[in-house]
Amino acid sequence: MSRPPRPQFLARDSYRIRRLMDAARFLPVFGFVLILLPLMRHSPEAETPPTASEGVYLFLVWFGLVFVAFLMSLGLRRALDAPKEHVTPSED
Amino acid sequence: MEKRVLVIEDEPNISEALRFILTRDGWKVDVSADGKSMLGVLQADPPDLLILDLMLPDLSGFDILKVLRAGDGTRELPVLMLTAKGQAADRVEAERLGVTRFMTKPFANAEVIAAVREMTAP
Amino acid sequence: MSFNMLVLTCLAYVILLFVVASAAERAASEGRAGWLRSPVIYTLSLSVYCTAWTFYGAVGFAARSGLEFMTIYLGPTLVFVGWWVLLRKLVRIGRENRVTSIADMISARYGKSNLLGVIVTLLCIAAGAPYIALQLQSIAQSFTVFVSDPEGASLAGNPTLIAFWVAIGLAFFTIVFGTRTLDANEQHPGVVTAIAVEAVVKLAALLAVGVFVVWFVAAGPSDILTRIDAQALPEWEIQPGRWTGLILLSAIAIICLPRMFQVTVVENTDDQHLATASWAFPLYLFLISLFVLPIAVIGMELMPAGSNPDMFVLTLPLYLGQDGLALLSFLGGFSAATSMVIVASLALATMVSNHIVVPLWLKVRAARNLDSGDMRLLVLSVRRLSISLVLGLGYLYYVITGGSGALAAIGLIAFVGVAQMLPALLGALFWRGASRTGAALGLVIGMGLWFYTLFLPSFGPGVFLSAQVMEGGLFGQSWLRPYSLFGLTTLDPLLHALFWSLLLNVLVFCLGSFLSFPSPMERVQGALFVNIYDRTGPARSWTRPVAEAEDLLPIAQRILGVSEGQNFFRAQAAVQGKQGFLPDITAEFLEALELKLSGSVGAATAHAMLAQSVGTAVVSVEDLMAVASETAQIMEYSAQLEAKSEELSRTARKLRDANEMLQKLSVQKDAFLSQISHELRTPMTSIRAFSEIMMDSDAMSPEERTHFAQIIHDESIRLTRLLDDLLDLSVLEHGQVQLNIGPVQLRELLDKAIRSSESVQASRKFRILRSRDPEGIEIVTDAGRLTQVFINILSNARKYCIADDPQMQIKVRERKGMVEVDFIDNGAGIPRDKQALIFEKFSRLTDSMQAGGAGLGLAICREIMHNLGGDIAYVPGQGGAAFRVSFPRVLTPRDASRKAARSQAEAAE
């Protein structure tokens, strides 16, 4: 109620950047969960752990994170240059 | 015919002095210490001259003068007002109310006689 | 390869780095630093995270624990991938506040507390020592395995000696690199560029070994995967606790490590670089990690049993006869170690000089009342000494621990140490309520626990903590065992230390913040840090050019006036030997301008204004506080003014009141004078009239003459009495009366008064009713004055009591030391509306003044009674006029003076 009046709907670009910033905050959490997955794939009957396959999985996740971060950084660069009200975290 | 003068003065010694000098000058002098009781007499049978003290009990000299100037028979009555207060404001007020002559106490007897004669000269 | 050859190779490599650094610095100073300030260089400089621990230790780690080595790189990956959450804010705050180190950051946030700076510095040094020891150990080990010639064997067989010379060499190298000049902003473009080169070298070396292993030793990726599964050990099982804990720990470390803070925050010049690094640095880590497990597996397969897996990167190519690859690998490891040591010791040296030595130096200088002078040489010397100190401590750690531990284990000890800064750092960024007290307490508690549960035990039993303490706990208390505090036995020592130290650190930090009250400076800084994005205006950075003189001139004109501003600028330009109005922006000029401006707007404001327009510095909180206090002073001053004007209006009101009072008094005085005039003129009139009559009347009877003379005589007496009364009243009113106090019998006074008053209207018969007994009391008072009052009352009664059979009743009564004498006649009494007036001057009830009173009698009576400490009052409803005279039976001078004072006050009203 006390918030200053703001436009109800933002322009498409601003909206995209907003959601991109949300995604950027979510990405490390998502990555952390993926990295923790091997912990839940424990098979007690095997004598040695499936190190090779888990290693391949982790490197794939890793590379995936790098790739997504790369794509996001392209958009977030614009958010860095954008006017203050579009990037202030408290405003969305 | 002997001229009549009425002296309204609350100080007995002063009125006695006035009676003496006016009588000596050939006046018929009546004296009163209180103006209020004399108003009726003044209206009914005005004297030739009134000598009026300012500071009187009950009605002041100004009050009496006001009444006299409002009455038909006494509008032209010569009034000599005497006062011991001697303030300029009193003289102004007396003249506004239509006093004929205003003198401060203490007075010289000769002055009073001269003033009285002048005021009643035809 | 010969030992000398190896040393020469190292020297050549170092010289190459030095040339690169010098070129970069020259380019930067000539303003051609564009390519130096690229996101690629920034990202590569971040690789200082990958030290000898990574280069050698990761393979050892992988050989011992399988995939667990990846945690050390996955944590930082998450932090950088999530740069938008934390790093962006950290970098922005660091740059805008010109933060010089992590100690500076924390100290600045918590009210520029130097105490915190010292704590953080000490913590960083303690955590830095094992880390640097790790680098020395790895270089020493690499020398040992590399040198094959018998000539150098004696030397190479003594790793401690090698470590010593390596430490000396690195100290020299770092001093030459990092402290050639004092950079105003703690940025080192030369060092950063050299680090970037080293990043490429170590990545290339590790990739080369990896490619060799995968495609030349093994038969490609699928073969490697098969071999990995073949070599897999049961210990390689991913342990959930360590897996999660190490990911978190490495994520914390990438933020808190002093050298990482240096390259990430202090050396950052642009937010955009961070955007690139957000994916490029994880990619670098990805590539560094990619071949670690294959190298470890092939090493385990091929190398003889008992070989140190930490050295596989080097020993494997040597074993397979690839000397060139081995040299590249050696240089890669050397790069990783040197880059870490250079940046870490630089960062630590900055902290030591900024937070410990310089404050102490200034304090000592101030105590000796010396001018602080030019600090630059001092700071440089301190930095050089600090670098030596830091490397010395690292060497000491290496010597004491005997260089025996696995590289990764040593590194993790340092990680847990620096992790203690996380609560304070996160609090600084996101929690305005975080306070200095909380941060300091949390740091100290966390640091203490880290020391006890991890750092000291890491030296091995018997060095700092005896085996007895390790087994049985401190003081024999089993719940104080360093590796299982409070009976927590299920965690391995590293996680155990991390758990307890961070838990209690956070707990104490929060409690301390809840319970303490921050100083204003802390609160301002807190708001500034936490709300960094809310600041208006563009982000300032030190690379922004300073304001032109053209920009400053309007400000000066606005404050000084157009002509004076221009004159000042022209004069300053002339001092610099320039024509026109625009001098160069030098420190001297700014100082002079500030001084000039402060003459108009105050020092703090001038400083803040210049700082803003010059743009070289963010307005510091000290500036803001100074402005605030200056404003507060102004407000206080205006409040004083307001108070003064209020006082003025109060005074004016008082004056107005006094004036009104004076006017009233003046009216009263006029009335009084008019009264006196009347009272004087009236007897004079009679005297004059009768004396004139007697003068000009010859014929006058003797009776008449006597009568007139009598009148003159009476009036003269009246006149005299009037004057006497006036004088008497004046004396009484001003309390100047001389009282003649003595013992006397009341009855005598009454007798005397009655006798005296009989002369008034002596013809009238007055019956006096008295009560003899009460009259017999002895009183102490001024008999004469009291009698005067009695006479006055009795005389009045004789004059004014109009009863046919006049009588006077006198009643005497004593009550509580006061004597009351009532005089009651049987006359008409005094009308109610006049009762209040009778004691006023010149009040007369009638004008029939046979006895010639001036109306002062009762006024005088009242004054007398006041002077005697008593009063006189009219008592209504007694069947006639009734006066009550009351006075103390025994009059003391104190009473008298008090009453006199009262009457004086009344007189003044």
Would you list the DSSP string of C275-325? HHHHHHHHHHHHHHHHTHHHHHHHHHHHSPTT--GGGHHHHHHHHTT-HHH
Q: How far is residue C254's CA from residue C262's CA, in Å, rounded to a whole number?
A: 11
The pair phi, psi for residue C598, each rounded to 5°, is -65, -25
Q: How far is CA C122 from CA C304, C426, C692, in A?
A: 43, 20, 121
Contacts of C712 in chain B (CB under 8 A): none
Interface test with C, best of A17, A51, A72, A78 (most C CBs within 10 A): A51
Q: How far apart are the first and last CA of chain C?
A: 119
Residue type, B86: G
Q: Residue C274: which residues within 8 A CB-CB, separation 6 or more? A: C42, C83, C87, C88, C91, C268
Could you give the angle at the alpha carbon of C23 between the alpha carbons of C21 and C24, nearest 5°?
Answer: 65
Strands B79-83 and B101-104: parallel
pLDDT of residue C546: 47
Residue type, C814: E
pLDDT of residue C652: 84
Contact between C229 and A52 using a beta-carbon 8 Å cutoff: yes
For residue C850, pLDDT over 50 is answered with no
Contacts of A89 in chain C (CB under 8 A): 533
Tell me if A5 is assigned to some domain: no
Give the domain extent around A20.
Answer: 12-40+52-91
Which pLDDT band, with edges at 50, 70 and 90, does C507 fall under?
Answer: very high
Q: Residue C183: which residues within 8 A CB-CB, separation 6 or more? A: none
Tell me if A23 is assigned to some domain: yes
Number of CB pairs, chain A paired with chain C, less than 8 A apart: 123
Please tell me the distance in Å from C719's CA to the nearest CA on chain B.
Answer: 14
Give the three-state DSSP class for C337. Answer: helix
pLDDT of residue C879: 77
Residue type, C851: A
Instruction: Please indicate whether residue C237 or residue C528 has the higher confidence score (pLDDT).
Output: C237
User: Total structural domains in chain A?
Assistant: 1
Q: What is the pLDDT of residues C297-313, one digit of tens each?
A: 999 888 887 778 888 88
Contact B98, B78 (CB under 8 A): no
Taking phi first (over 0 means left), then psi (-120 to 50 degrees means alpha), and beta for anything else, what does residue C699 get? beta
Contact between C78 and A54 using a beta-carbon 8 Å cutoff: no
Q: Which long-range contacts (CB under 8 A, 24 or more apart) does A6-10 make?
A: none
The mean pLDDT of C383-402, rounded to a whole number, is 87
Strands C778-782 and C741-745: antiparallel
Q: Which token pair is B21?
A: 């000098």
Give the domain extent around B109.
Answer: 4-120
Chain A residue with CA closest to C76: the answer is: A28
Contact C742, C785 (CB under 8 A): no
Return the axis-axis angle of helices C87-96 and C422-430, rounded to nearest 10°. 80
Q: Residue C717: which residues within 8 A CB-CB, separation 6 or more? A: C852
Contacts of C278 in chain A (CB under 8 A): 69, 72-73, 76
Contact C199, C339 (CB under 8 A): yes
| Burial bucket for residue C262 (CB in 10 Å: 0-12, 13-18, 19+) | buried
Q: Which token pair is C329?
A: 């690998």
Per-position DSSP letters for C189-202, written without gaps between them:
HHHHHHHHHHHHHH
Buried b (16+ CB within 10 A) or exposed e, C741-774: beebebbebbeebbeebeebeeeeebebebeeeb
Taking phi first (over 0 means left), then psi (-120 to 50 degrees means alpha), and beta for anything else, what does residue C858 get? alpha
Which CATH topology does C735-908 take? Answer: Heat Shock Protein 90 (3.30.565)
The pair phi, psi for residue C65, each rounded to 5°, is -125, 10
CATH number of B55's domain: 3.40.50.2300
Buried b (16+ CB within 10 A) or exposed e, B52-64: bbbbbeebebbeb
Question: Could you tell me which of C456, C467, C336, C463 has the C-alpha nearest to residue C407?
Answer: C336
Highest-confidence segment of C145-149, C207-211, C231-235, C850-854: C207-211
| Adjacency order of strands within the sheet including C871-874 | C767-770, C807-815, C818-825, C882-888, C871-874
C-alpha C223 chain-centroid distance: 67
The pair phi, psi for residue C668, each rounded to 5°, is -60, -40
Interface test with A, best of C84, C269, C530 (most A CBs within 10 A): C84
Q: How far is residue C91's CA from residue C269's CA, in Å, rounded to a whole number?
A: 9
Q: How far is residue C105's CA from residue C354's CA, in Å, rounded to a whole number?
A: 12
Q: Using a CB–CB cutoff of 8 Å, tell me whether A43 touches chain C.
A: no
Could you give the angle at the alpha carbon of C178 between the alpha carbons of C172 and C184, nearest 5°?
Answer: 150
Q: How far is residue C210's CA from residue C204's CA, in Å, rounded to a whole number?
A: 10
Q: How far is residue C308's CA from residue C314's CA, in Å, rounded to a whole number?
A: 11
Contact C202, C333 (CB under 8 A): yes
Q: How far is residue B62's CA from residue B99's CA, in Å, rounded to a whole number?
A: 9
Chain B residue with CA closest to C682: the answer is: B84
DSSP label at residue C598: H
For residue C185, pLDDT over 60 is answered with no
Tell me if A63 is assigned to some domain: yes
Contacts of A54 in chain C (CB under 8 A): 67, 238
Question: Could you tell me which of C625, C621, C572 has the C-alpha nearest to residue C595?
Answer: C572
Question: pLDDT tens digits for chain A (92 residues)?
Answer: 444 545 555 566 777 788 888 888 899 999 999 998 888 776 666 667 778 888 899 999 999 999 999 999 888 887 776 544 433 343 33
Q: Give the CA dihedral C197, C390, C412, C250, nearest 10 degrees.
A: -50
Could you give the angle at the alpha carbon of C586 between the alpha carbons of C583 and C592, nearest 5°?
Answer: 80
Q: How far is CA C230 from CA C72, C236, C244, C308, in A?
A: 24, 12, 26, 20
Q: Residue ranges per domain, chain C?
A: 3-26+33-435+518-532, 545-619, 645-709, 735-908
Contacts of C75 in chain A (CB under 8 A): none
pLDDT of residue C849: 42
For residue B105, pLDDT over 50 is answered with yes
Question: CB C873: neighbour CB atoms within 10 A?
Answer: 17
Question: Could you tell me which of C248, C282, C243, C186 has the C-alpha nearest to residue C422?
Answer: C248
Instruction: Please indicate whether residue C879 or residue C403 has the higher confidence score (pLDDT).
Output: C879
Q: Give the CA dihedral C435, C438, C444, C449, nearest 10 degrees.
A: -140
Q: What is the pLDDT of residues C157-179, one digit of tens each?
A: 677 888 888 888 888 888 887 77
Q: What is the pLDDT of residues C311-353, one digit of tens each?
A: 888 888 888 888 889 889 999 998 898 888 888 988 898 888 8
Q: Which alpha helices (H) appear in C420-519, and where do they start and end?
A: 422-430, 436-450, 467-472, 493-515
The pair phi, psi for residue C821, each rounded to 5°, is -120, 115
Q: Can you give the pTM of this predicted structure?
A: 0.58
For residue C419, pLDDT over 80 is answered with yes
Instruction: Please indicate whether residue C150 or residue C417 has the higher confidence score (pLDDT).
Output: C417
Closest CB to C686: pick one of B13, B24, B110: B13
Question: Could you tell me which of C271, C322, C277, C267 has the C-alpha nearest to residue C295?
Answer: C322
Per-position DSSP letters for C606-673, written without gaps between them:
HHHHHHHHH-SSPPPHHHHHHHHHHHHHHHHHHHHHHHHHHHHHHHHHHHHHHHHHHHHHHHHHHHHH
Q: Residue C578: which residues within 8 A CB-CB, separation 6 or more? A: C584
Classify C3-26+33-435+518-532 by CATH class. Answer: mainly alpha
| C383 half-sphere exposure, CB direction, 13 A CA radius | 26
Contacts of C238 in chain A (CB under 8 A): 38-39, 42, 49, 54
List, as ranges, residues 1-20 from A with C-beta within 8 Å of C.
none
Tell me if A28 is assigned to some domain: yes
Return the axis-axis angle of helices C407-419 and C240-256, rounded to nearest 10°. 60
Contact A68, A27 (CB under 8 A): yes
Contact between B21 and C689 using a beta-carbon 8 Å cutoff: yes
Q: Which token pair is C269?
A: 């010049």
DSSP label at residue C890: B
The pair phi, psi for residue C767, each rounded to 5°, is -95, 130
Q: How far is residue C317's CA from residue C208's CA, in Å, rounded to a whole number?
A: 10
Q: Give the CA dihedral C61, C62, C67, C72, nearest 10 degrees.
A: 40
Out of B79-83, C31-35, C737-741, C755-759, which region has the weakest mean confidence (pLDDT)? C31-35
Q: How far is residue C404's CA from residue C398's CA, in Å, rounded to a whole number?
A: 9
pLDDT of residue C33: 62
Highest-confidence segment of B73-77, C14-18, C479-483, C843-847: C14-18
Instruction: Please indicate whether residue C890 or residue C148 has the higher confidence score (pLDDT).
Output: C890
Q: Using a CB–CB cutoff of 8 Å, tell me whether A89 touches chain C.
A: yes
Instruction: Please indicate whether residue C81 or residue C840 has the higher confidence score (pLDDT).
Output: C81
Q: How far is CA C245 from CA C242, C420, C903, in A?
A: 5, 15, 95
pLDDT of residue B61: 86
pLDDT of residue A33: 92
User: Which residue shows structure tokens 């001098």?
Assistant: C583
Contact C26, C163 (CB under 8 A): no
Contact C439, C512 (CB under 8 A): yes
